[in-house]
Structure 1
Amino acid sequence: MNQDSVYSQKRIYVYTFDRKLFLTTSQRTDKIYAVAVGKAQTPTPHGTYQIINKIINPGGILGSRWMGLNIPNGPYGIHGTSRPESIGKAISNGCIRMYNHDIEEIFNKISIGTTVIIQPFSEET
């Protein structure tokens, strides 16, 4: 299997209630990560989106990596954080925060165009 087909089989699932991000390949879970999501006033939008850009060291509160999403009325993204104590909480302005070492781990495994599905619960919950 070539590298392009592996990338095309990658998906990210974010479950906002559980505050978990699942990285999958061909419907098999590769790894599960703890995340922070949007607070009640600025919730993370549910739906199916794509990664539209990737930035190394975006600066400020965005931590060490940014993966932008095509969510309307954005910008929204999956990014690192300068506030690791926020992980596991509903605290952001709608973005999905990860520990910097976690976003760095998945950053090179994800290509622009990767599907990101954001829903409140996993189907197993």
Structure 2
Amino acid sequence: MIKKWLAVLILTCLMFVGIGIKPSQAATSQFIIINKSTNQLAYYENGKLYKVFKVATGKSPSLTPEGKFKVVNKIVNRPYYTGHIPGGDPRNPLGNRWLGLNARGTWGTTYAIHGNNNPSSIGKYVSHGCVRMYDNEVEWLFDRVKLSTPVVITTSSKSFDSIANANGYKVTSSSGGSNAVIPTGTVLKKGNRGATVKKLQQKLTVLGYSTKGIDGIFGNNTDQAVRKFQKDRHLKVDGIVGPATIKALGGL
């Protein structure tokens, strides 16, 4: 009788453990999209775009794998085995955080979202396949992301919300997200005011171009943010938000 009771208890415990590790339940409220065409990483939480980061990806298109993956391990100060550099060493090109992905038959040992000891490389196509971030930003992501969080890597001209929907994720757009819509035909420049300027400021801020406030006033700070965005997108750097800049923002 005691043996039978123990068997039932063990089976019950195993069932609860199994439930606890199902990927579909472990990270349903989170997912990540990496768009290689813009070298940006979008973090979604509870169906909403929460934050967008600049990243670096492979020096050639084939190096950084595309598809749907999962975060399968999380390592603080991972050693750089190839160069025999210990974790935490300032020379370590992997930075201070490693989010391993199960890409191309590997299990978080080869491909990852990780930090970097060369901040000037972020935003460029320079890696051997991994996705690089600024150390302070990957720390934030590392603390937030759970194991089994889905990661979509793609090359696309679409907005993050469109990519999410195409991959089966239901999202809720908000005026503060990077998918906020700016009306077609709009031209904005320094001196403009209003709700459309506010949407522009919200969008730039989420994309990592701070306007130092979202007040609906196109002043010096918004002008500088627009110019930085235009420079990074290889657009005409004039501070004027016309059709080309709006298209690059993903607002149309």
Global fold match (TM > 0.5): yes
Gaps of at least 5 residues in structure 1 are: none
Across the aligned residues of Structure 1 and Structure 2, the Cα RMSD in angstroms comes to 1.8
SS in 2 for 1:61: coil
Q: Which has the higher contact order (CA 8 A, sep 6+)?
A: 1
The change in CA–CA distance for 1:26 and 1:123 in structure 2 (over 3 A counts) is: farther
Between the aligned partners of 1:34 and 1:8, the Cα distance in structure 2 is: 24
The number of equivalent residue pairs is: 121
Select between 114-123 and 75-84 the one with higher mean Cα deviation.
114-123
Structure 1 residues 6 and 25: alpha-carbon distance in aligned structure 2, compared to 1, 3 A threshold = farther
Please give the alpha-carbon distance, in whole angstroms, between the structure 1 residues aligned to 2:61 and 2:42: 25
1:109 corresponds to? 144
Question: 1:28-107, aligned counterparts within 5 Å?
Answer: 28-40=48-60, 43-58=63-78, 59=87, 60-72=92-104, 74=106, 75-107=110-142
Identity, % of aligned positions: 36
Q: Residue type of the partner of 1:65?
A: R
What is the Cα deviation at residue 57 of structure 1?
Answer: 1.1
Q: What TM-score comes out, normalization by structure 2 length?
A: 0.45
* Aligned CA distance change for structure 1 residues 55 and 122 (closer, same or farther; 3 Å): farther
Higher deviation after alignment, 80-89 or 6-15:
6-15
Q: 5+ residue gaps in structure 2?
A: 1-24, 79-86, 160-249
Change (3 A) 1:99 1:82: same
TM-score by length of 1: 0.89
**97-106 vs 53-62, greater mean Cα deviation:** 53-62
More strand by share: 1
